[in-house]
Chains A and B, each alone.
Chain A
Amino acid sequence: MIPLAHLGHWSWVFYVIPVAIVIAGIVRSTLEERRRKRGGGGKGRR
């Protein structure tokens, strides 16, 4: 039996998804940037 009456308690998950997507994008972009810098392709730290 799926406790449908309690589904409302899990509605917060839908609000976390956009935050998780943005954080995942940031982490990915940060890692790529680091990899690029390490490979010598970046403009380096000022």
Chain B
Amino acid sequence: MILLPSIPEAHALVARSDLPIPAWLFAWAASGALIVSFFALALAWRQPRLEDEHWRAIPSRVARVVVSLPAQILCGALGVGLLGVAVYAGLRGTDAPERNLALTFFFVTVWLGFPALGVIFGDVFRPFNPWRAVGRAAGAATARLGVGRPRSLAYPDRLGRWPAAVGLVAFVWLEVVYGVGGVTGAGLTPHAVAVAALVYSAYTLAMMALFGTELWCDRGEVFSVYFGMFARLGIFEARERTLGRRRPLAATTRWASVPGSLAVVVASIGTTSFDGAQEGAFKNGIEALEESFLDAGLGAVAALRLTDTIFLALTLAGVAAVYLIGVWGMRSIGGGPSFAALRSGFAHSLIPIAFAYLLAHYFSLFLFQEQAQFTYLLSDPLGTGTTDLFGTAGGGIDYAALSARAIWYVQVGALIGGHVLGLTLAHDRALVIWRDPRDASRSQYWMLAVMVALTCFGLYLLSVANR
């Protein structure tokens, strides 16, 4: 999130000296908590409980209103309107990133807000998705006009969610690699973000026209897939205009059966890790490689972006490798399915970890930057200083609203909680596969190592960020 220069340290731990014990001791305590959880699961969780979602309709008037057609149309229109405002702000507003609504809206409010809302309230993005709204409106209009609706192309099954995974990496690349050029005067401007949003809108609408709106939202539309993934952790889900409640976590168990789903969740963890490590853990390595590219005659911006791209790719590969080691370890237990089946069969256990990484890394940034979003950016979206729509243009960010110690405890809590939930999901799936609780627990030894490694890695990244 380096493109928000007004808060360079907001998402990092800035005062570790406040802590009663060294930061690394938290990693030891977190590892202990995971080991205790692992053995508690082995002893007490002896039947699969999460394969059935137990979805039940909520018999309430409010629930019916929330998913009614007028509410859907209203939400869709709001989504289209907000996208339009953000694009307009990017195209016509100031180039100062911290004063223009576009960057904060796309990279903080939407990108970080919807995962949290999804976990709490269900897939909130779905009704607000502007491209889905346009696609559905176009479909309804052609049906009403009696125009023969063209048949959608058959979507290749093997492609699965790979378009979303690639799009997710591209989105984060735009933000943390392309945008990092800001320090050398070629960073991500609100204008560039607005143009990218327009290009993505054209691409998405074209894909929806080719393959169908709902199918593209489920497989290829980056934001639908990404936010929908996190929404599966929560208890609310609308089915055919009926709002219902289900067991927490249970909806994740079917999510990863589509090819490319593992790539999406690995991309989520990997990109967040890279963003955290870029200015901290990887800083020396990035500087050394960049130096060698400069010596080879590359320009400053190109050298920096190439270096960051390589480190981003290495981070993604590293996260994938750690997960695959965990899966490989399960093969030591006989009677299980193939490596490929295990690889996709346990991918959903990474979803709570992806959310934990997101929460730990961006929690403080979100809280601070949303103060800007709902004060001066909302009243003066172009950042030109000429409008004050809601009388809040003079507002600012109160950095004292959250202490460094509070941020650190939220980060540690998020990482421990996310990994314990990941262990739970993996254990539950192991019981489905191996049935014998003892075999199931033994199969998860290496997944325990994966969880401990990801927890310690996450805490290390946070502890050295912006040192």
Q: Using a CB–CB distance below 8 Å, which chain A residues touch chain B?
A: 8-9, 11-12, 14-19, 21-23, 26, 29-30, 33, 45-46
**Which residue of A8, A11, A22, A33 is within 8 Å of B31 (Cβ)?**
A22
Report yes or no: B446 in contact with A17, Cβ–Cβ below 8 A. no
CB distance from A4 to the nearest CB of B (A): 15
**Which residue of A8, A15, A30, A33 is within 8 Å of B460 (Cβ)?**
A15
**Which residue of A8, A9, A14, A29 is within 8 Å of B27 (Cβ)?**
A14
Residue B464 interfacial (CB < 8 Å): yes
Main secondary structure of the interface of A (DSSP, over half): helix
Q: What is the chain B residue whose CB lies nearest that of A30?
A: B332
Residue B281 interfacial (CB < 8 Å): yes
Residue B407 interfacial (CB < 8 Å): no
Q: Bound complex: CA of A19 vs CA of B449, how far in Å?
A: 6
**Which residue of B284, B446, B457, B459 is within 8 Å of A26 (Cβ)?**
B446
CB distance from B288 to the nearest CB of A (A): 13
Q: What is the chain A residue whose CB lies nearest that of B438?
A: A43
Report yes or no: B27 in contact with A30, Cβ–Cβ below 8 A. no
Report yes or no: A18 in contact with B31, Cβ–Cβ below 8 A. yes
Q: What is the chain A residue whose CB lies nearest that of B30?
A: A18
Q: Bound complex: CA of A17 vs CA of B452, how far in Å?
A: 10
Residue B448 interfacial (CB < 8 Å): yes
Report yes or no: A17 in contact with B28, Cβ–Cβ below 8 A. yes
Q: Bound complex: CA of A45 vs CA of B332, how far in Å?
A: 10
CB distance from A17 to the nearest CB of B (A): 7
Residues 249-281 of B, flagged 1 when their CB comes within 8 A of A and 0 if not, give: 000000000000000000000000000000001
Q: List, sorted by A's number, 28 A–B pairs whose CB atoms are closer than 8 Å.
A: A8-B467, A11-B24, A11-B460, A11-B463, A15-B24, A15-B27, A15-B456, A15-B463, A18-B31, A18-B32, A18-B456, A19-B449, A19-B456, A21-B31, A22-B35, A22-B452, A23-B449, A26-B329, A26-B445, A26-B446, A26-B448, A29-B445, A30-B445, A33-B442, A45-B335, A46-B334, A46-B335, A46-B436
Residues of A within 8 A of B456 (CB): 15-16, 18-19
Q: Using a CB–CB distance below 8 Å, which chain B residues touch chain A?
A: 22, 24, 27-28, 31-32, 35, 281, 284, 329, 332, 334-335, 436, 439, 442, 445-446, 448-449, 452-453, 456-457, 459-460, 463-464, 467
Residues of A within 8 A of B436 (CB): 46
Residues of B within 8 A of A45 (CB): 334-335
| 4 cross-chain pairs, A with B, having the tightest CB-CB distances, nearest first | A18-B31, A14-B24, A45-B334, A15-B460
Residues of B within 8 A of A46 (CB): 334-335, 436, 439
CB distance from B432 to the nearest CB of A (A): 15
Q: Bound complex: CA of A46 vs CA of B443, how far in Å?
A: 14
Q: What is the chain B residue whose CB lies nearest that of A8?
A: B467
- Known contacts A8-B467, A12-B460, A15-B456; is A22 also within 8 Å of B449 by CB? yes
Residues of B within 8 A of A21 (CB): 31
Q: Bound complex: CA of A15 vs CA of B415, how far in Å?
A: 14
Q: Bound complex: CA of A30 vs CA of B446, how far in Å?
A: 10
Report yes or no: A11 in contact with B464, Cβ–Cβ below 8 A. yes
Q: What is the chain A residue whose CB lies nearest that of B460?
A: A15
Q: What is the chain B residue whose CB lies nearest that of A45?
A: B334
Q: Bound complex: CA of A26 vs CA of B446, how far in Å?
A: 7
Residues of B within 8 A of A30 (CB): 332, 445
Residues of A within 8 A of B335 (CB): 45-46
- Which of B456, B457, B467 has the largest number of chain A CB atoms within 10 A? B456
Residues of A within 8 A of B448 (CB): 22, 26
Q: Bound complex: CA of A22 vs CA of B281, how far in Å?
A: 23
Report yes or no: B27 in contact with A18, Cβ–Cβ below 8 A. yes
